[in-house]
Structure 1
Amino acid sequence: MSHCPLTAQHDDEEARLAALASYGILDTPPESAFDEITEIAALICDAPVAVINFIDRDRQWFKSERGLGVRETPLDISICAHAILQSDLFVVPDTTDDPRFAGNPLVTGEPHLRFYAGALLKSPQGLPLGTLCVLDHHPRELSDKQRFALTALANQVMTNLELMRSHREQATLIQELQSTQQQLMHLASTDPLTGLYNRRAFEQRLGQELALIQRGSGEAAFMLLDLDHFKDINDAFGHETGDKVIQAFARLCKNVFRQADVIGRWGGEEFVVLLPRTTPAEAEKAAERLHRQLRQTPLACGGPHPLLVTVSGGICPLTAQSHLGNTLRTADKLLYQAKHNGRNRILSSPIP
């Protein structure tokens, strides 16, 4: 039997294939919703073979089959490839009497298919995608009730396909909305210049840590930092260089502090660091590492020379007795004292 001339006879073949692809049904595993339809079709039509098939570019693929034992066949032996060129239910009472199928190997050999009835599976735009068909090993006909039932079941197949596509599109939309929401939340909590936590987000995180400490999670430390003489940098070299210093200091902090530590930009040239599960002595060692790295790492170029920057700050222990407002005020006082005592130092507050 020659290859079915789909392209020659179907004006919208590419549109038809695109519509079929849009359902994402090809090569998917069997599903009970479709298997039940083929079982019902076989039962109502009293047929040993029932198939839900889709006509791809060069093959006929079965989403569900009963009594056939294969999942796909080439188009050149497909009766359904002819059925999708019809406008309505396609019935072949005796395949051996039809010149289109008399020489078909599925008719002349196993499984010796002598009867065919296929109801179109059509997209909402009327494009034929495949058929729900029943087949028999003997010539026969369908009653009017069986014809109606087969067509109704084919419509049910398309309803299932539409629901599946709708659910998939909804899932994609939900995923996109969640991704957008995450991006917006990230933007709302991030300082645009440094990528660190902004003040509002850091305050929320600090409040959460204090609540955890009050429930017994262990002590922590809070550090408030301020770049020394930053106004002089802006005045001497411009705000672009000042921004580069801010960005470089943020990168340096990410290298100095632990991954578990939370770093934020408090505003201007002020930064904050939350060090969970950290003793005051460990926080002081972290401050020493920061000073050591700053002595070794220029943060920008000031004219022809590398620009080394120092930092002042204060460290407050966080305990079950700590409160957000008091902690911030204490750290600010320590920072002011460090500036007053000559800068380039980070002072610690005793445990309350």
Structure 2
Amino acid sequence: MNNTPRLSPEDYETRRLKALADYQILDTQKDAAFDEIVEAVSLICDTPIAVVNFIDRDRQWFKSEKGLGVQETPRDISICVHALLQPGIFVVPDTTQDARFVNNPLVTGEPHLRFYAGAVLKSQDGYPLGTLCALDYEPRELTQRQRFALQALANQVMAHMELMRSHRIQEALIRELQTTRQELEALSSTDSLTGLLNRRAFDQRFQQEVAMIQRGAPSGALMLIDLDNFKHINDTYGHQSGDHVMVRFIELCRRVFRQYDVISRWGGDEFMVMLPRTSPSEATHVASRLHQQLAVTPMLTSSEAPLYCTVSVGICVVIGTSTMDTCLSMTDALLYQVKKEGRNSTAVQAEETR
């Protein structure tokens, strides 16, 4: 039963070619499964030539062939094109006695084909894509058993192609699922505005750093940064401008901190930075560089006068016995100290408490 819609010849051919393209079979490498089917056709039909071919726009392309020795031929001399229009097995007992093929170059010249039998390869929606065919240099006929076997093997060709397509679809779905999972993981571990790690993800990274220190890595430093008077910025310039300031600040931080330093948005206007293999004094130099860059880099230029921001910073040491709670308590206390003394400064954990 042909389930294809009634279309003009041009529209029908367009859809047929689209169906063929969907299988992604043209110009692919040799495949043992197709080669074995071709060998079986040659043995069962007792013919020196057997091929699996597909009819493209301007050519007949052979996925597998035995005895022909070519990869493709022009479509306008293809015998298989006629098979696409016929129901069941298309047999030409003697091409020299058939008006359609008597002057065909493949008949009058090399390889001097005299016999043709082909079973149409149809897509699931009924479009003929090509044929599985047997050819000979001598006139002949097929027995009913040979006809049945040729059709059964053609069905196996399409079953294999459907399996290949299913595998491609499955692989594409797996890739899509992996991409979606990665995106969801990123969303669950990052701040939507800045793209920085959120608290949960940063805490995991902190645990990893402590574990590395326990295995012999140098100690690190933890830096808690507060954007001074950020509420005033939101109240004065609006939340959209406040978001812009936040993004600009992170861009500046990425220039100040090293690539392997880990920056997290800890709260509304607070940021936590893990500095691996960094002493408190080295971290203090980094904080000083941040203060200097903020002094010369406007965070907002759309207002009447450029807006410059300052930060208050608390720094503590991270060692093998550190916990997130103890470090957070320490940096919070240091940050409170800086704010109490007027902001725009850095406080470092005292030597005797390290």
Question: TM-score, normalized by length of structure 2?
Answer: 0.93
In the alignment, the residues of structure 2 paired with residue 237 and residue 79 of structure 1 have an alpha-carbon distance, to the nearest angstrom, of 77
Q: Match of 1:346?
A: 346
Partner of 1:274: 274
Listed as ranges, the matches of 1:159-178 within 5 Å are 159-178=159-178
Residue 102 of structure 1 pairs with residue 65 of structure 2: no
Task: Check whether the contact 1:223–1:331 (CA below 8 A) recurs between aligned residues.
Answer: yes
More displaced stretch, 227-236 vs 287-296: 227-236
Residues 110/314 of structure 1: CA separation in 2 closer, same or farther (3 Å cut): same
Could you say if the C-alpha distance between residues 316 and 150 of structure 1 is closer, same or farther in structure 2, counting changes exceeding 3 Å? Answer: same
Q: Percent identity?
A: 62
1:317-344 alpha-carbon deviations (Å, 9 max, x no partner): 2121212211111111111112122321
Cα shift readout 1:212-261 (whole Å, capped 9, x = no counterpart)? 22233332221100112223333333333332222221111111111111
1:58 corresponding residue in structure 2: 58
Letter in 1 for 2:289: R
The more displaced of 185-194 and 115-124 is: 185-194
* CA contact 2:118–2:133 (8 Å) conserved in 1: yes
- Paired letter, 2:341: N
RMSD: 1.9
Change (3 A) 1:108 1:234: closer
Q: How big is the shift at 1:86? A: 0.4
Matched pairs, number? 346
**In structure 2, how many angstroms separate the alpha carbons of the residues matched to 1:46 and 1:238?**
85
More deviation in 138-147 or 59-68? 138-147
Residues 126-160 of structure 1, C-alpha deviations (whole Å, 9 max, x = no match): 21110000111111111111111111000000001
Cα distance, 1:303 vs structure 2: 4.8
1:138-153 map, 5 Å = 138-153=138-153
Any gaps of 5 or more consecutive residues in structure 2?
A: 1-6
CA–CA separation in structure 2 for the residues paired with 1:10 and 1:251:
57
**Structure 1 unaligned spans of 5+:** 1-6
SS for the counterpart of 1:272 is strand
CA distance in 1, matches of 2:161, 2:74: 23
AA paired with 1:268?
G
Amino acid at match of 1:336: Y
1:259 lines up with 2:259 in the alignment: yes
Which residue of structure 1 lines up, in the alignment, with residue 222 of structure 2? 222
TM-score (norm 1): 0.93
Distance in 1 between residues matched to 2:333 and 2:305, nearest whole Å: 34
Contact persistence 1:58–1:75 (CA under 8 A):
yes
The range that moved more, 200-209 or 126-135, is 200-209
Deviation string for 1:36-81 (max 9, x for gaps)?
1111111111111110000111110001111111110001211101
Partners in 1 of 2:51 and 2:108 — Cα distance? 20
**Which residue does 1:307 correspond to in 2?**
307
Cα distance in 2 for residues equivalent to 1:10 and 1:37: 33
Distance (Å, rounded) in 1 between the aligned partners of 2:238 and 2:76: 76
CA distance in 1, matches of 2:28, 2:315: 60
Amino acid at match of 2:347: L
Q: Report if aligned partners of 1:44, 1:149 keep a CA contact under 8 Å in 2.
A: yes
Deviates more, 1:342-351 or 1:15-24: 342-351
Check whether the contact 2:287–2:313 (CA below 8 A) recurs between aligned residues.
no
C-alpha separation in 2, matches of 1:58 and 1:237: 66
Matches within 5 A, 1:119-138: 119-138=119-138
Number of the residue aligned with 1:194: 194
Once residues 9 and 136 of structure 1 are traced to their aligned partners in structure 2, the CA distance between those partners, rounded to angstroms, is 32
